[in-house]
Amino acid sequence: MQHKAAIQEMLTLQNGLNEMTNGADWRSGMTHLGKEIDWRRCIVMEAAELVDSYPWKHWKSVDAQVDIENARVELVDIWHFLLSLALEYFELDKAVELLNKALADSTDTDEYDLDHLSIQGQVRIHEMMMAIALQNEDVTEEYLATLAEAFFHSCQVVDLGFEQLYQIYMAKNVLNKFRQDHGYKEGTYLKVWNGKEDNMVMFEIIDTLTEFSAEQLYIRLVETYKTVS
C-alpha cells in the first residue's frame, strides 16, 4: 500500500474512533461529556512516557537498556493524537497531503547521524517533538508539518519504519475499539490480563496470526479476555 493511501486509511479510522470515544462533534474541541480536548497536551504526555523508555536518570538504573519496544508503542500512541490534531484543523485531503509530505521530508534529510547517536542524543530528538507540541500557537499547515516531521524523526531513532507504524496502528485501533466495547470509559475494563498488559497480549496474538486481520485480532481478543481473572 502506498504511504498516502495508508495515511488516508488511518485518518479515516481515527475519525471513527474519535466519534465513538468523544462524540460526533469532537472537532469542536469538546467531548460529548463536556471535557476539553487538547491533542497537543496528549502528545506531550505520551512523549514523556517515550522518554521514560530510556535510562536517562543519572541516579537510578544507570545500566538499564533502552526499552525499544515500549518506545515504539508510545510513538504509535502519539500518532493517534497527531492524526487527531490534523483532522481537527484540516479537511481530510489536506491532512493527508501535509502528513505525507512530512513523512517524505523526514526521510530525505541527513540532519541526524542516527547510527551514532548517544542515549542523550536520542532523548533530545524526542524532546524536540515535545517542545514543538508545547508551543501555544495556531495550528497552521506549517506548524503541523513541523510537528509531524519531528514525529517521524523520533520514529527513525527507534527504527520504527512507516510499514511497522501502520501495522501497529491498525492493531491498536482494534484494541482501542475492544477497550471501548468492554467498559474502558466506564472504568470496568481490565487492562492487565493475567499479569500482562493488554498491549503485550495483543502483540502475542498478532505473532500467532498467519495473516494480519483486524477481524481475526478482535475475535482473538474477545476469546482471550474471557480467560482474564
Separation of alpha carbons 131 and 207, rounded Å:
36
What's the pLDDT at 179?
93
The residues, ordered by sequence, that sit 6+ positions from 35 with a Cβ below 8 Å of its Cβ are none
Separation of alpha carbons 141 and 100, rounded Å:
13
**DSSP secondary-structure letter at 183?**
T
Report percent pLDDT > 70 for the chain: 96
What's the pLDDT at 1?
59
Separation of alpha carbons 52 and 57, rounded Å:
9
What's the pLDDT at 229?
75
pLDDT tens-place string over residues 175-229: 988 998 999 989 999 999 999 999 889 989 998 988 888 889 999 999 999 999 7
List Cα–Cα distances, 184 to 11, 119, 146, 179, 181, in angstroms: 22, 35, 33, 5, 7
List Cα–Cα distances, 156 to 139, 150, 217, in angstroms: 24, 10, 27
pLDDT tens-place string over residues 38-85: 999 999 999 999 999 999 988 988 888 999 989 999 999 999 999 999
- Max avg pLDDT among 18-22, 38-42, 159-163: 38-42
What's the pLDDT at 221?
96
**Is 3-158 assigned to CATH 3.30.2420.10?**
no
Separation of alpha carbons 3 and 216, rounded Å:
24
The residues, ordered by sequence, that sit 6+ positions from 46 with a Cβ below 8 Å of its Cβ are 74, 77, 78, 81
pLDDT tens-place string over residues 78-107: 999 999 999 999 999 999 999 999 999 998
E strands, the chain, where?
192-193, 196-197
pLDDT tens-place string over residues 114-138: 668 889 999 999 999 999 999 999 9
Separation of alpha carbons 90 and 45, rounded Å:
23
